[in-house]
Structure 1
Amino acid sequence: MSETDQLVYFPENSDNHLQHQAEQQLAESLYDLGLTLANQESPEEIQEAQKKQLINLRNLLKTRKWTLISGHFSLSESEVALLAVVYLFQLEPDLLSAYAGLNWYERGPGVSAERVLSLIPGAHDSDLPAMKTGLLMPDSPLIQAGLLICHDPVNPLSQSLTVSGPFFARMGYQAPTGDQSRNIPDANSWLIRESDAVNPASRAMFTEHFRQPVLRLGLNQISSSESDEILSFVHAILENQLMSDINQTEEPTGQVDERENNPPEPYRLWMVHSSPQTKDEAIMLQQACLDAALHSIPADLAICWPSLWQDSLNSDILRRFVWYLIHHDKVLLFCEPYHRGEEEDRDSVWVEEITHRVAISDYDLSCSAPQRASGWLALFQQANLIHPDQHDACVLAERYPLSAPEMQWVFEKQHAQNKDSLDALQKACLQHIHSGTQHHGLATFVIPRLTLSDMILPAGILEAIEELLARINHRDAIRTLLPTSSFGLHALLWGPPGTGKSMAAEAMAGELCLPLYKVNLANVASKWIGETEKHLAQLFERAESQHAVLLFDEADAIFAKRSEVESSHDRHANLGVSFLLQRMETYQGILLLSTNFKSNIDDAFLRRFTSVIEFGLPDKALRHQLWHQVWPDTFRLSPDLDMDYLIAEFELSPSQIYNIAERACLFAMMNGETGIHQSQIAKALKCELDKQSSGFMAARHIAGWQTPVPTKSQ
């Protein structure tokens, strides 16, 4: 049990004894007053009984627990007195018997509102209706906070009153045990007590935000797409606020004021993680927050309630409760900004009341690369690492737009396995992005397995790709020197099928350690009518948020030279192309298009590309490299294999060479062999050329080259 919980429940014998004694004395005087009224004693005797009851009530309110309750909830004397009287009638139900015959509605389940109002200070100096208006109306702090339960609001004076369950339980003497001091009984589905750990990445990334004061009497709105990031930020800003509170306990002269003996307590942070759907659920959430406040005394309460606006708009109970929390200086309230819904007329009055009468502080958690670099560096420094260093932090920040909690999760997982090098962290970031990505039919998410070192490319193509990579690696410097230059990069890869266009796109993503989205535009073209445009917009947003490489395959299916519109399908397709063109131009990452025929692409569109790279069939020298590097280490080539003839006579693409080698290995395995013979390659070659209906001449070339397969006896 924490020190704060001990203060709430007062396990010290002296406090328990004083409160118990005061409660007994008040109960006795209340019972005596009830009998005096029931027996219709003289006015002097009634007045004396009332005086004794009020003295005992004030004595109870002076005990430590009731003093803290009054101060923490900012209750007036009348409010805390009313609460104490209702609580005592609930604690000692036999008291009701002394008042049962005085009127018809003293029947329970609690004491009547009229009776309670007659037993608190000032009751005999004011008329009851005026007091009732101030203490029992829906805007009363007792009702808004959920401390007091009115069982029949239609009949305000004759209604029965009880204190709420959490308040009644917390005013007892028995301290909670085990997890009860951290969790709210029967309300864990609504509210969770968050740990006090602060993410060092959040602390480093949002330093500028800490200069903005946290509002006590108002709303602190946090803009972020990630609830975990909101919570991480709240932890960091509460830590900063606590340090500010501690510093304020010292006067400018260096003199320490009286608050030094009672330094500020750490904030108690609770997270609302479910939205109520019914009135009963709204009451449960209200009571859970009340219980959290009681747990927090004497520390201030912080509530992170992302869906506060929507929840309060859907419930009158929560609307009043939120209004109370906003105006309670012991509560710090954090939520997401208001987003106007469909029912604007219903929302407008409540929203206008809040936005015009309440102070609102806005925090935007969208981060720049330098901020993320500060977060990564803070994680490295906390782990006392020299490497990775600041340069590595900048690389990670530039390529992976992770939130502070995501950064911490990736780093701690890798560090625990001693895999915290830059390369290992990049791979872990890629895997994390992949695990959190929702896939749909328009694109395939790929974690790159290739780099340029895995490919055999002509010098011209390799040079062009390296130029593209350099543009990405140095684009910040380029933007500094040439402010009007585009931040995105668009390139067209064109050439016959199987020449390595898709592999080159994956290798570029692999060189940069970025995710790759492959989009088949032939599929897109057949689905323009319907939801495709919306899905494409979502794809661009997701890819841009992940700094992904976008590869649009078979680009001529969409961007081919078009004839006049002849059907409604053509009109929809043209609208789709216009949208796609517009979105491509504003894409801030790497966008690649591949096609088999550059001549099919509209000339106006070709001018939009940063680079246009032709992938032709490999020449004899490249085919020599491809044929000699394609074989697995577990297989050996037969000495009598005439590889020079194969290389010279068959102008094959890299993809075809790979397919032939794979099939030849399969034929060897079927024969139980590890050697690759010429006849096996010839058979695989014929199968590959048959796909293109190469015909009689190809068969004659193969027949002239093929030799029999040696038998096992040979």
Structure 2
Amino acid sequence: MTMNSTAQQAQSQIKIEKQLAQQFFKVGAALANNDQDLQQNLAALQKVLDKLVHTPRFELVTRVFSLEDFEARLIALIYIQTLEPDILTPYLGLSWYEQGPLLSLDKLLFLCQFGGKRQLLAQGVFWCSAFKWGLLHAGSVPKLHEGVGLHSYLLQFLQTGKVVLAPEHPIKVFEDIETDPVFLACSEKSWDPEQANCFSINTKESETARWYAQQLAAKSDALFGVINNEQFGQLESTDMLQILAGVILAANGQRIFLYLSDFECLLPIENKLLSNQCLVAAKLHLFSLNLGLVDKTQFKPHLVEYHAPSIDSLARVWNTLSPNHDDKQAHSIAARYPVSLYRMNELAQQAKAHSSSSFWPALQELCLRELNQGPEELAKLSEPRFMLSDMVLSSTTADQLTELVGRVEMQSHLKLKLPRFTPGCKALFWGKPGTGKSMAAEAIAGELQLPLYVVNLANIASKWIGETEKHLAKLFDEAQKHNAVLMFDEADAVFAKRSAVESSQDKNANMGVSYLLQRMEHYSGLLLLSTNLKSNLDDAFLRRFHNVIEFTLPTPSQRFQIWRQVLASNANEVLMQSIDDLAQRFELSAAQIINITESALLQRLMVQEAHIDPISLANALKRELAKQHEGFMAQHEIKAWLQGN
């Protein structure tokens, strides 16, 4: 419709409104004077009323709310009375205004000359659509002699032809939605909004469901709105319907999709919404995610199949969003970083802001940051500080760790070559404390550029029946969502051999182990377990690992390399010349060497010296060995080392 025709329609309605006001005035005068022409004036009033209710704005209201003819006429009368409150007041006695300045329903029905008044009252006039939606309201307990008012948004619409929702409105409506390129890779090709008015999107992630519903709105040229479940659920049922009526009026006859996180908040009004096909007439479509709770309502939504895109599809999307087409980079990021679909476009725009030449490195960093949001109450997010090249390892251990990295990076290739290939990689790290198990986990996560979740076993294990399984389920779901490297440190605390069932606590522990085995089987990321004693673990676990890697104490030559790396520029020349002898004499783990170096450096810094000397290192070495009750026995060796003997 053009601007000119809209303006013409508005002018025509204003002209009819003036005619109705004049005729209203004549009826008032006839009533006041007990004029014999009252019926003639009432008949003339009906003709003008008929013209007003057939103007475009009134017809739209009648259509979208499925109003009867008498309801449209009631609304027209109250509308004119609201615009011109003094038309009848000078002429009508107090009996016409029994409850304030508004005409009662009884008097309004008389002015409409509604012939079936008795039948209407028997059916319950207050249950008609106009009252149900709150377009008309007559008090908390409506009665015939009470005044009838008009919905504020209805008044706004009839006056201006549009509705502007208040900022605090519990339904936020968005206009001019742009189609996300990512949506095209996973949308339902045969989507048709006419197939239903209630839809359940087949995902458990509320943000994804909301984004998908928004994109379906864009595809269907519909408005999109979000219901604030918490705010909306606190309203009375009458207020709920009034709120929805305001949104329908704001849509101005356009189709509108509303997303809510749970259909249950509509329970108080579901019968009214579903009766007489209210949703169909209002072109109102409700969307929610698939919570499995819809049996509690009568909505029986149509299931929308949300299809998660394949790695190849996601790679094509990344390439579409990028300024520089790069199949290898796009496929690597798609396979490694399962960021939420609704975030992909925004992340790509942020990466572009860096510069077109650095798009892919910037995107990788942003994707990693996006996934660094673990379940903090169950696992600690550990930022990888190392790479495998930072570790001093035996060739056997280094090869096995490199193989773990390769297995994760080559999963898609392995799946193509081996039809029965099962995604995921599981490894056990075992060995004495301080031999590098935790550092190796960080190094692998660093090589893969993936988040590392170190599991807090104290928060996972629970003595209460079923709680351990719930915690594990949440942990694995979150880790799977972010493609995280999942590390169970000191795993024997939870994953020890299953004991004979002698108590309910034993039964609980064994059930937890069995459940974990099941979740491990289906985890498609990298899962690492570390323990000091491999013999403590259940045999059923050991059979499921792709790699069981032993971390041993470093050899003298490895200790020499570690000392050189750790001391680096922090030792004076005398100390650096003696570390070969130091590595030969003292059998220490990498963690102990790091602790000794830190302690010695602190001693020197406290006396404002920048470099570690042999004496300060010897003091730190004594303290470390004393932890193992070897301080006295090591005195002679430390003295001999200092003297160069």
TM-score by length of 1: 0.81
Partner of 1:261: none
Partner Cα distance (1:49, 1:582) in 2: 83
Q: Given the superposition, is the C-alpha separation of residues 631 and 515 from structure 1 closer, same or farther in structure 2, using an over 3 Å criterion? A: same
Partner of 1:196: 176
Q: Which amino acid aligns with 2:318?
A: W
What pairs with 1:358-377 in structure 2 (closer than 5 Å)?
360-364=302-306, 366-377=308-319
What pairs with 1:68-217 in structure 2 (closer than 5 Å)?
68-71=60-63, 73=65, 75-97=67-89, 100-101=92-93, 106-120=98-112, 123-124=114-115, 127-132=116-121, 136-138=125-127, 140-151=128-139, 155=143, 157-172=144-159, 184-185=165-166, 188-198=168-178, 200-207=180-187, 209-215=188-194
Q: Given the superposition, is the C-alpha separation of residues 480 and 193 from structure 1 closer, same or farther in structure 2, using an over 3 Å criterion? A: same
Structure 1 contact 35–99 (Cα < 8 Å) conserved: yes
2:341 to 400, 404, 407: 404
2:541 to 605, 622, 628: 605
Partner of 1:670: 606
Shift of 1:694: 1.8
Structure 1 contact 488–587 (Cα < 8 Å) conserved: yes
Structure 1 contact 214–220 (Cα < 8 Å) conserved: no
Q: Structure 1: any 5+ residue segments left out of the alignment?
A: 243-266, 709-714
Partner Cα distance (2:642, 2:409) in 1: 50
Structure 1 contact 224–364 (Cα < 8 Å) conserved: yes
**Are 1:551 and 2:543 matched, yes or no?**
no
Partner Cα distance (1:556, 1:692) in 2: 23
3-state SS in 1 of match to 2:397: helix
**Are 1:629 and 2:565 matched, yes or no?**
yes
Q: Given the superposition, is the C-alpha separation of residues 56 and 565 from structure 1 closer, same or farther in structure 2, using an over 3 Å criterion? A: closer
**Are 1:333 and 2:271 matched, yes or no?**
no
Q: Given the superposition, is the C-alpha separation of residues 153 and 81 from structure 1 closer, same or farther in structure 2, using an over 3 Å criterion? A: same
Structure 2 contact 71–130 (Cα < 8 Å) conserved: yes
Which region of structure 1 is more displaced relative to structure 2, 272-281 or 470-479? 272-281
Please list the CA deviations of residues 650-685 of structure 1 after superposition, one character each: whole Å capped at 9, or x if unmatched: 222111121222222222222322333222222222
Structure 1 contact 312–319 (Cα < 8 Å) conserved: no
Partner Cα distance (2:509, 2:617) in 1: 45
Structure 1 contact 450–506 (Cα < 8 Å) conserved: yes
What pairs with 1:351-390 in structure 2 (closer than 5 Å)?
351-352=297-298, 354-355=299-300, 360-364=302-306, 366-380=308-322, 385-387=323-325, 389-390=326-327
Partner of 2:519: 583
Shift of 1:612: 0.7
Partner of 2:228: 273
Partner Cα distance (1:548, 1:687) in 2: 38
Shift of 1:455: 1.6
3-state SS in 1 of match to 2:315: helix
Partner of 1:433: 371
Partner Cα distance (1:567, 1:361) in 2: 45
Partner of 2:263: 309
Structure 1 contact 191–285 (Cα < 8 Å) conserved: no
Shift of 1:493: 0.8
Structure 1 contact 665–676 (Cα < 8 Å) conserved: yes
Structure 2 contact 135–151 (Cα < 8 Å) conserved: yes
Partner Cα distance (2:58, 2:499) in 1: 84
3-state SS in 2 of match to 1:486: coil
Shift of 1:506: 1.4
Q: Given the superposition, is the C-alpha separation of residues 505 and 229 from structure 1 closer, same or farther in structure 2, using an over 3 Å criterion? A: same
Q: Given the superposition, is the C-alpha separation of residues 674 and 217 from structure 1 closer, same or farther in structure 2, using an over 3 Å criterion? A: closer
Shift of 1:568: 4.7
Shift of 1:163: 1.6
3-state SS in 2 of match to 1:679: helix
Partner Cα distance (2:251, 2:458) in 1: 60
**Are 1:235 and 2:218 matched, yes or no?**
no
Structure 1 contact 556–600 (Cα < 8 Å) conserved: yes
Q: Given the superposition, is the C-alpha separation of residues 425 and 707 from structure 1 closer, same or farther in structure 2, using an over 3 Å criterion? A: farther
Q: Which amino acid aligns with 2:304?
A: D
Q: Given the superposition, is the C-alpha separation of residues 145 and 560 from structure 1 closer, same or farther in structure 2, using an over 3 Å criterion? A: closer
Shift of 1:541: 1.6
3-state SS in 2 of match to 1:494: strand
Partner Cα distance (1:307, 1:498) in 2: 48
Partner of 1:250: none
Partner of 1:295: 250
Identity of matched residues, %: 35
Q: Which amino acid aligns with 2:319?
A: L
Partner Cα distance (2:137, 2:84) in 1: 17
Partner Cα distance (2:534, 2:107) in 1: 91
Shift of 1:634: 5.4
3-state SS in 2 of match to 1:588: coil
Q: Which amino acid aligns with 2:588?
A: L
Q: Given the superposition, is the C-alpha separation of residues 565 and 412 from structure 1 closer, same or farther in structure 2, using an over 3 Å criterion? A: same
Which region of structure 1 is more displaced relative to structure 2, 630-639 or 587-596? 630-639
Partner of 1:260: none
3-state SS in 2 of match to 1:439: coil
Partner of 1:507: 443
Which region of structure 1 is more displaced relative to structure 2, 645-654 or 27-36? 27-36
Q: Given the superposition, is the C-alpha separation of residues 189 and 34 from structure 1 closer, same or farther in structure 2, using an over 3 Å criterion? A: closer
Partner of 1:392: 329
Q: Given the superposition, is the C-alpha separation of residues 114 and 369 from structure 1 closer, same or farther in structure 2, using an over 3 Å criterion? A: farther
Q: Given the superposition, is the C-alpha separation of residues 233 and 59 from structure 1 closer, same or farther in structure 2, using an over 3 Å criterion? A: same
Partner Cα distance (1:60, 1:241) in 2: 32
Q: Given the superposition, is the C-alpha separation of residues 189 and 439 from structure 1 closer, same or farther in structure 2, using an over 3 Å criterion? A: farther
Q: Which amino acid aligns with 1:130?
A: Q
Partner of 1:498: 434
Shift of 1:137: 4.3
TM-score by length of 2: 0.89
Structure 1 contact 549–591 (Cα < 8 Å) conserved: yes
Shift of 1:485: 3.3
Q: Which amino acid aligns with 1:237?
A: L
3-state SS in 2 of match to 1:484: coil
Partner Cα distance (2:124, 2:606) in 1: 91
Partner Cα distance (1:104, 1:200) in 2: 58
Shift of 1:368: 4.3
Shift of 1:112: 2.3
Q: Which amino acid aligns with 2:119?
A: A
Shift of 1:431: 2.0
Which region of structure 1 is more displaced relative to structure 2, 464-473 or 110-119? 110-119
Q: Given the superposition, is the C-alpha separation of residues 626 and 527 from structure 1 closer, same or farther in structure 2, using an over 3 Å criterion? A: farther
Structure 1 contact 498–654 (Cα < 8 Å) conserved: yes
How many residue pairs end up in the alignment? 642
Partner Cα distance (1:580, 1:652) in 2: 35
Q: Given the superposition, is the C-alpha separation of residues 27 and 524 from structure 1 closer, same or farther in structure 2, using an over 3 Å criterion? A: closer
Partner of 1:487: 423
Structure 2 contact 170–232 (Cα < 8 Å) conserved: no
Shift of 1:73: 4.6
Q: Given the superposition, is the C-alpha separation of residues 99 and 542 from structure 1 closer, same or farther in structure 2, using an over 3 Å criterion? A: farther
Structure 1 contact 525–558 (Cα < 8 Å) conserved: yes
Structure 1 contact 276–282 (Cα < 8 Å) conserved: no
3-state SS in 2 of match to 1:517: strand
Partner Cα distance (1:82, 1:132) in 2: 15
Please list the CA deviations of residues 95-136 of structure 1 after superposition, one character each: whole Å capped at 9, or x if unmatched: 453784495775445322233333447x23xx2133457793
Partner Cα distance (1:65, 1:92) in 2: 19
Q: Which amino acid aligns with 1:161?
A: V
CA root-mean-square deviation: 3.4
Q: Structure 2: any 5+ residue segments left out of the alignment?
A: none
Structure 1 contact 204–374 (Cα < 8 Å) conserved: no
3-state SS in 1 of match to 2:165: coil
Please list the CA deviations of residues 56-84 of structure 1 after superposition, one character each: whole Å capped at 9, or x if unmatched: 21232344443444455554544322221
Shift of 1:40: 4.4
Shift of 1:216: 7.1
Partner of 1:25: 19
